[in-house]
Structure 1
Amino acid sequence: MARLGFEVDFLTKLGKDPFGQYIYKYLQNERIGTEHITFDEELNTGIMLKNKTKEGDPITAYYRKGSAFTNFSIEDVMDIDFSEVRLLHVTGIPPAVNRVTRGAVYHLMAKAREAGSFITFDPNMRPELWKNEETMIKVLNNMARYANVVLPGISEGEKLTGSRDKETIA
């Protein structure tokens, strides 16, 4: 979006480590706003690694436990002026981190909706990050209610709705 000339901001919490500093500088070099990025002085930046595959599901490795983002909370988003936010894009990964982070995401979505922002939501299901599948489905379906557009894949839609029919999922 930034390369197309739109003003874009990225919201996250990074560690004050070399990897976090690299991400921060990279975003700035791409003309992506970093105003809403906060840093944790003690915890490192989390990472996810995913292999490329021509067939089947990729292997995904998570190194997020105890990362800076696990301390992401409502305090990190309280000062955002949603009157200037035209579009908010949210994925289903942050709410899987923990209840505090989930609360911050709910807060973001509620404030954006209140301000009239357009909200897109990609469930981006990562069952291994959730306590259990029932909680994952319940939370992601609740978050989808805040969105103007929900972007699940067919298998995600099937898990969230219990149907494989594209029209029913939609």
Structure 2
Amino acid sequence: MSSKYGVLTLGDAMITLNPEETGPLRFVNRFERKVGGAELNFAIGCARLDMRVKWISRLGNDEFGRVIYNFARGEGIDVSDVAFVSGYPTSLNFKEIREDGSGKTFYYRQQSPILTLNPEDITGSMFDGIDLVHLTGVFLAIDPRNIHIAKRVMEMAKQKEIPVSFDPNIRLKLWSIEEARAVYSDLFGHVDILLSGLDEIKLITGNDSEDSLAEFAKVNGIEQLVIKDGENGSKLYNKGEWHKKEAFPVRPVDTVGAGDGYDAGYIYGYLQGLPIDERLTFANAVGAIVTTVSGDNEGLPYLDEVLPFIRKEAVVER
């Protein structure tokens, strides 16, 4: 089943450099170049699920910027509102992996090209053919000016009666939880679908009980509160009821990007009008498949991979 629905997202993208050796980064000499970024991962996930996707961004007018641009375009993403800017290097992200499997991430995005995006750059024509707008907290955390851009996007979406989904995607290396809470509380009233990890919603609200989360959704006017809980599956609060679906049993090798994939899967189900239980099942399946492949977005599945996985007709192999 092919989707004709259009999704819009905006945010920074990075070149991710993954170490080919384990140990402290200062002793690592070889890296593999990849492309990453929460919003771009989401856009890739949507494109592979046969949705039309527009990604708004700014990239450095450099070789790394060309890599990201060509990669996104190759995935079938509409990059007509992605521009190259000089004087702002494309963001970088170095990963460190220790022998025990633990790791760290080192961001180099203080002068991100996305800083050159202004509220007035968001125009009504960008929303033509768009059925849903998706934003994340990563974009907000990069710089306070981005908050004004997000507000403009949300307000324009409301004027055009386009639903807004939001993933807090908290990055405490970019801002404090107190800063995040203050910004989120100002924006939640514009959010129709909130897609949050259980640990994130607890950081935001201070409580993860179902009663308190239901009250939080009601107070903020959030129509659909979706809670992602990894191997425990996910649940949704909607119209006074909680709906729950267990996770698919897989042997995870890398959980990076699973949340972005889940978001894409849920939005696919939402736009297709799938019943809530089927929507959660589909999103759980996408998230599970992502964890079976190493990388930020390499494991994001195509539509014709998800349905057989749900029906257990095939084992996902790459």
Taking structure 2 as the reference length, what is the TM-score of the superposition? 0.48
1:157 matched to 2:180? The reply is: no
Q: State the number of aligned residues.
A: 168
Q: Which structure has the highest strand share of the two? A: 2
In the TM superposition, what is the alpha-carbon distance from 1:143 to its structure 2 partner? 2.1
Worse overlay, 70-79 or 138-147: 70-79
For 1:3 and 1:152, how far apart are their aligned partners in 2?
22
The answer as to 2:16 corresponding to 1:16 is: no
Give 5+ residue unaligned stretches, structure 1. Answer: none
Where does 1:99-114 land on structure 2 (aligned, <5 Å)? 99-114=144-159
1:46 aligned partner, one-letter code = S
2:169 equivalent to 1:124: yes
Residue 85 of structure 2 aligns with an amino acid whose one-letter code is D
Instruction: Give the % identical residues.
Output: 27
SS in 2 for 1:65: coil
Contact 1:71 1:101 (C-alpha < 8 Å) held by counterparts: no
Cα distance in 2 for partners of 1:37, 1:67 equals: 14
**2:50 is the alignment partner of 1:5:** yes
Q: Which of residues 63, 76, 97 is equivalent to 2:108? A: 63
CA contact (8 A) 1:36 1:77 kept: no
Show the counterpart of 2:187.
143
Unaligned runs of at least 5 residues, structure 2: 1-45, 214-224, 226-318
Please tell me the residue identity of whatever aligns with 2:196.
Answer: P
Deviation per CA, 1:112-154, whole angstroms, max 9, x where unpaired?
1221112110000012212x43221110232222111111111
Conserved in 2, the CA contact under 8 Å of 1:49 and 1:62?
yes
The corresponding residue for 1:75 is 120
- Aligned equivalents of 2:143, 2:186: Cα separation in 1: 16
The residue identity in structure 1 corresponding to 2:120 is: E
- 1: CA distance between counterparts of 2:194 and 2:103? 23
SS at 2:190 equivalent: coil
User: 1:127 aligns to what SS in structure 2?
Assistant: coil
Q: Distance in 1 between matches of 2:211 and 2:120?
A: 39
